[in-house]
């Protein structure tokens, strides 16, 4: 049997009262594509942060090629050939794309100055490998989240760039704690990545971008790179993985060969129960019209297309879910931003809320009018890193827990506890830092914040991005319950099966134009994809 490249032996990690990992034991073989599955909060990201040096204090042992691995940070891990692409993007918004890719290991001229041209050239070569067009000189802040994710991927791949200076020769340091314990050499330059950790790398990518990424992964594997892949997308896992390790509640449930299991078994092992989504939306009865949009257009100054959105019309009724489908750049997020008063330019056209003409210049106006929004980019626009779970949940509805202008602590705590219970938020308590929660549980807090404003219309922008199948099912169930209570919902998603599961109607966008609309009886992935790639001048027959 092949000797494991990585072995986790009793790895345990506690965050105060919460045990994130509990005696985790499994191995990863050289050159394999090893998938790591589990619900949000199962411990997947925590384990990979330990391996990549983001978290350095833990119990247990990790072996790399038969020797105990000790790293004192991400630079140490990179020097051992371990690179990670985080689910939550770690980019500096004010720096250029190229500067982010080489941050901390900048290329310099013989005179010691930053070699911006060389970094931009190498960044362009990395994007050429990914078959995408991103300007290396553009500030990261100006990019949409899908492009930012591609920058993170290029950053990880850059560790293997052949144009970089070769690593400095160095002697392996031996830790005094054990004669067989090695630690990374801080003086060693980051060499080619031999272990690439990917934490939900395709959560904001289009189908074509996903295909390009897996072609890159195939090339890396031919070069001997080992892939540890965290994902909730069963189609990706069962197309590419060699083995699958399932975590639940911080413990390893099982490691399986891909060919010896099924998506249904893996899902069952992840959540400990069967999931059924076929019944969502079956008994809905839409009521009165809540929103009507006519000929909505959003200017795009300085761009060849001129319009981010052009002549889009739609409507949604009480107790109904309207889906917005489309590829990256189709205008899904921009449409919701227009409805919430958060667009970059004033939109043109007519927006009616419950029959009344409205024009929002600021999100606060939309909020008070009865519109709630859950943003696509949780990290940049959804959470406040210094706040607690309680503060996040009640932030938009403080007037309801206040008296004479002062927040009543007991009322606020009760409101937070109600939302934590109803949305099944996994947290150490209402006073826990929002950053201590998994991505999926952070998202639940953001949804809870929107719901506490008691909106008439709820806008959900790709709300399950990076959320596991169990949490997705809970959100689908919540959407169904909210519809039953008469709430109107507009949802975007990068996953067509998700829209087919939860929506009553789906409007498809392509390059800012509405190309088709389908009712539930007309849904099919093929029809939706055809509409998402159709030229606006060639409307489809539905």
**Which residues are CB-neighbours of 245 under 8 A, at least 6 positions away?**
26, 34, 35, 36, 37, 252, 254, 255, 256
* β-strand pairing of 488-492 with 457-461: parallel
pLDDT at 274: 54
Task: Please give the Cα distance from 188 to 169 (Å, whole number).
Answer: 7
Measured in residues, the chain has a length of 542
pLDDT at 204: 66
**Rounded alpha-carbon distances, angstroms, from residue 309 to 302, 354, 460, 480:** 15, 23, 18, 29
Pull the structure tokens for residue 316.
């949604």
Pick from 363, 310, 375: nearest CA to 339: 363
pLDDT at 164: 38
pLDDT at 192: 46
Domain boundaries, the chain: 6-271, 275-370+455-542, 384-452
Strand partners, 59: 12
Q: What is the DSSP code string of 494-542?
A: S-HHHHHHH-SEEEEEETTEEEEEEEGGG--HHHHHHHHTS-TTSPPP-
Record: fold of 6-271: Rossmann fold (3.40.50)
Pull the structure tokens for residue 423.
């949305």
Task: Please give the Cα distance from 88 to 67 (Å, whole number).
Answer: 30
pLDDT at 510: 86
Pick from 284, 263, 283: nearest CA to 275: 263
Q: Are 513 and 540 in contact (CB under 8 A)?
A: no
- Collapsing DSSP states into helix, strand and coil, what is residue 62? strand
3-state SS, one letter per residue, for 417-473:
HHHHHHCCCCCCCCCCEHHHCCHHHHHHHHHHHHHCCCCCEEEEECCCCCCCHHHHH
Pull the structure tokens for residue 275.
């999931």
Place of tokens 């938020």: 425
Pull the structure tokens for residue 314.
């739609």
Place of tokens 């690593």: 167
pLDDT at 350: 95
Strand partners, 517: 507
Place of tokens 């109107």: 488
The CATH code belonging to domain 275-370+455-542 is 3.40.50.300
pLDDT at 277: 52
CB atoms near residue 410 (< 10 Å): 8
Query: Do 6-271 and 275-370+455-542 come out as alike in CATH topology?
Result: yes
Task: Please give the Cα distance from 334 to 331 (Å, whole number).
Answer: 5
pLDDT in tens, the chain (542 residues): 678 999 999 999 988 767 889 999 999 999 999 999 887 678 888 999 999 999 999 999 999 999 999 988 888 888 888 988 876 677 898 999 999 999 888 999 999 899 999 999 999 998 887 777 899 999 998 887 778 878 888 888 787 543 333 333 333 333 333 334 444 443 333 444 589 999 888 876 767 778 878 888 888 888 888 999 998 788 889 999 999 999 988 899 999 999 999 988 887 888 675 555 555 766 788 899 999 999 999 998 877 678 889 999 999 999 999 999 987 678 999 999 999 999 989 999 999 999 999 999 999 999 999 999 998 877 777 778 888 999 989 988 888 888 878 888 888 999 999 989 888 888 888 999 888 887 778 888 998 998 888 899 999 998 887 666 777 777 888 888 889 889 999 999 877 888 988 999 999 998 899 999 999 989 887 788 788 876 554 444 44
């Amino acid at each position: 049997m092949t000797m494991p490249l990585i072995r986790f032996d009793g790895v345990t990690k506690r965050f105060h009262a919460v045990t994130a990992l509990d005696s985790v034991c499994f191995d990863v073989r050289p050159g394999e594509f090893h998938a790591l599955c589990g619900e949000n909060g199962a411990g997947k990201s925590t384990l990979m942060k330990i391996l990549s040096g983001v978290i350095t204090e833990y119990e247990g042992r990790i072996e790399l090629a038969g020797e105990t691995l000790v790293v004192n940070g991400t630079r140490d891990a990179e020097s051992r050939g371990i690179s990670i692409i985080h689910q939550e993007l770690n980019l500096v918004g004010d720096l250029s794309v190229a500067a982010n890719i080489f941050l901390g290991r900048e290329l310099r001229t013989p005179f010691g100055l930053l070699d911006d041209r060389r970094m931009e050239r190498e960044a362009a070569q990395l994007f050429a490998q990914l078959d995408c067009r991103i300007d290396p000189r553009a500030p990261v802040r100006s990019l949409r989240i899908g492009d930012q994710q591609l920058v993170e991927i290029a950053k990880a791949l850059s560790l293997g760039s052949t144009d970089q200076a070769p690593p400095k020769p160095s002697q392996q340091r031996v830790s005094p704690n054990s004669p067989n314990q090695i630690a990374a050499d801080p003086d060693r330059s980051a060499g080619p990545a031999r272990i690439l950790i990917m934490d939900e790398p395709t959560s904001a990518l289009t189908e074509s971008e996903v295909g390009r990424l897996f072609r890159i992964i195939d090339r890396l594997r031919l070069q001997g790179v080992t892939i540890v892949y965290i994902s909730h997308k069963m189609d990706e896992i069962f197309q590419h993985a060699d083995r699958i390790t399932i975590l639940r509640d911080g413990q390893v449930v099982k490691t399986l060969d891909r060919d010896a299991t099924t998506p249904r078994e893996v899902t069952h092992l992840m959540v400990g129960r069967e999931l059924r989504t076929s019944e969502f939306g079956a008994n809905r009865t839409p009521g009165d019209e809540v929103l009507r949009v006519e000929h909505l257009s959003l200017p795009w100054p300085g761009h060849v297309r001129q319009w981010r959105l052009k002549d889009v019309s739609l409507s949604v009724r009480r107790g109904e879910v309207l889906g917005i489908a489309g590829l990256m750049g189709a205008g899904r997020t921009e449409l919701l931003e227009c409805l919430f008063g958060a667009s970059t330019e004033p939109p043109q056209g007519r927006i009616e809320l419950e029959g009344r003409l409205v024009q929002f210049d600021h999100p606060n106006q939309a909020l008070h009018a009865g519109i709630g929004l859950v943003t696509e980019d949780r990290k940049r626009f959804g959470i406040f890193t210094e706040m607690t779970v309680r503060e996040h949940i009640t932030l938009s509805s403080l007037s309801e827990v206040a008296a004479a202008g002062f927040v009543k602590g007991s009322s606020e705590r009760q409101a937070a506890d109600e939302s934590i219970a109803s949305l099944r938020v996994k947290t150490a308590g209402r006073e826990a830092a929002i950053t201590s929660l998994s991505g999926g549980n952070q998202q639940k807090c953001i949804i809870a914040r929107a719901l506490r404003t008691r909106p008439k219309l709820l806008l959900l922008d790709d709300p399950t991005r990076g959320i596991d199948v169990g949490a997705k099912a809970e959100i689908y169930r919540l959407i169904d319950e909210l519809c039953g209570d008469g709430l109107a919902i507009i949802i975007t998603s990068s996953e067509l099966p998700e829209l087919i599961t939860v929506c009553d109607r789906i409007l498809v966008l392509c390059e800012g134009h509405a190309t088709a609309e389908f009712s539930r009886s007309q849904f099919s992935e093929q029809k939706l994809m055809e509409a998402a790639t159709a030229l606006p001048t060639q409307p489809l027959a539905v």
